[in-house]
Structure formats: C-alpha cells, structure tokens
Amino acid sequence: MNLNISTYRPISGSCNLTPTVLLDALYEFMEGNRFGVDLAIDDVAFDNDSESNKYDDTNNGDKDASQSTVGILDKLDNNYITLRSLSYLFLQAFFDRYVPERSYVADGGTYFICLSNCSIDGNLIIRTAPGLRLERIKTADEIARALAGWSGTELEIDDCPAFDDAFVDRLRSAEWWSQSAVIECLRIWRCPGISPGALYRLLDERDMHVWDLFVWGASVPITDEEEEAFRELVVDKPRAWWTGRFIWNTA
C-alpha cells in the first residue's frame, strides 16, 4: 500500500498544522492497517509544535521501546519512506517517534529512508533503517548530520554536489562516522565533484567492506590502473552469496 501526503503550504498566515498532529494521524492510520505501507510526505509546511513528545536520547541515541511515549511509529519498516522538501522541524519530530520493529531490523530488513531536498539544520537520529538515500541535500554539513545519525548498510547519494572530494576527504578522518565499518553498498549518482582517487582512499583507509560500488555521472574519468585497484578492493573479495560489483560511469 502507498500512502502519499502532498502538498500543503499556505500562501500566507498560519499553517494550522503541527508535526505532532500529522504524526498522531499517521500513527492511528498505521495501527489500524494490517499491511505494510510505503510512505511519502512531500512539501508540507508546519507551525512550531511546542508540545512535541520527545525521547530522552541518552545511551548513544538509542531508544528504549519500553518508554511510555504515545504514538511510537513502529509499523513503518516496510520497503520505503520518502521525506521530501520538508523542514528540520518536521524531520526532528518524525525521527523522535520513528522506531522500526527491532525483530524486523535484526532479520535484515531492506527498507530505505529517502531524504530529498530537506533542510537538515540540526542533528538527526535516523538510527536503524538499513538503507539511507540522500537526494538534493544542499550542503556538506547537512549531509554529515544525516550520516552521523544513521546506522545501516546501504547508502545512496543522488544529485548532491556537496558530496565531493573535499567532503570525502573529511569522511576519511571523521570520528563521528563509525558506520563506515558496516556499509556494504555505496551508490552515487550525479555528484560531479567526486574523483576515483578520493573515493578509493576513503574505502581503503577506513577499511570499508563494500561489495557493491556504483558511481554514475562522475566528471572525472577513471584510469585503467584505478579501475583495477577498485576491483581488487570491491569485486575480488570472496563472498559465498554474492559477486561484487564495481561501476564507474562518467557524464
């Protein structure tokens, strides 16, 4: 089932809608639904919510499922969640209540969260979604905040010019990016500022165990020597269940 919420942005005056009101309605809908839902929320404006229910994010940002907080969004762990053209105000409220069912996560769920053209003006705790897709995120700091709050294995970056060599070099020594150790799939589209050399150094120096590396729309071509080095790093590592993949495509 697909649930699409779009578009609500008054020309002037109050929005008469807060994140809590929408999330409460979403919670009620999910509680009465027996089937999985692909959720998309696109271009919705909100008023400030002074009564937002938040978790006490201690213990490295992990949520305790036993906390008595009303409206925990624990049924949104099927396939895809797309949050597009939304403010940090809503993102923060959404992820404060987003708790995928832990048994599903432990069983290797394959669902994705996509943040597209969103404002990430502060820290986010995205947590346990196996896949994260960032589209049209404008600044390097916003990309960094999303990565710092996420724990998963598949990362997709699309049309984010700030994801360039300078940012990749920043990731090489970023203490906050512990997730690099478990990323298995890295797919990059339309990020022209990234080069083969910078990406190789990232994977090599952080000892990333990526078996699926896809780059499309790069502006810097790859040399035969660089391609061979990538294949040794990505494709030639033995895996019982999958043959590694490496693709570098220039625009």
Q: What is the distance between the alpha carbons of residues 195 and 191, in angstroms, rounded to a whole number?
A: 10
pLDDT at position 72 is 80
Tokens of 126: 């995205």
Compute the average pLDDT of residues 65-81: 63
pLDDT at position 130 is 80
| 67 has a pLDDT exceeding 90 | no
Listed range (71-80, 96-105, 242-251) with the worst mean pLDDT: 96-105
Compute the average pLDDT of residues 106-119: 78
The alpha carbon of 77 is separated from its chain's Cα centroid by a whole number of angstroms, namely 14
Compute the average pLDDT of residues 133-137: 98
Whether 168 and 192 have beta carbons less than 8 Å apart is answered as no
Whole-number percent of the chain with pLDDT over 90: 51
- pLDDT-derived band at 10 (thresholds 50, 70, 90) equals confident
pLDDT at position 11 is 82
Please name every residue paired with 212 in a beta bridge, in sequence order, or none if there are none: 185, 245
pLDDT at position 60 is 41
- pLDDT-derived band at 239 (thresholds 50, 70, 90) equals low
| 165 has a pLDDT exceeding 50 | yes
189 compared with 39, residue with greater pLDDT: 189
49 compared with 176, residue with greater pLDDT: 176
The 10s digit of each residue's pLDDT in 33-46 is 766 778 899 999 99
Compute the average pLDDT of residues 230-248: 76
Compute the average pLDDT of residues 149-164: 94
Mean pLDDT of the chain: 83
Compute the average pLDDT of residues 156-182: 92
- pLDDT-derived band at 109 (thresholds 50, 70, 90) equals low
pLDDT at position 238 is 54
What is the number of other CB atoms lying within 10 angstroms of the CB of residue 36?
15
Listed range (25-39, 57-71, 204-218) with the worst mean pLDDT: 57-71
What is the SS3 string spanning 113-134?
EEEECCCCCCCCCCECCCEEEE
Starting at the earlier edge strand, list the strands of the sheet with 245-250. 2-5, 38-42, 80-84, 112-116, 131-135, 154-158, 185-189, 212-218, 245-250
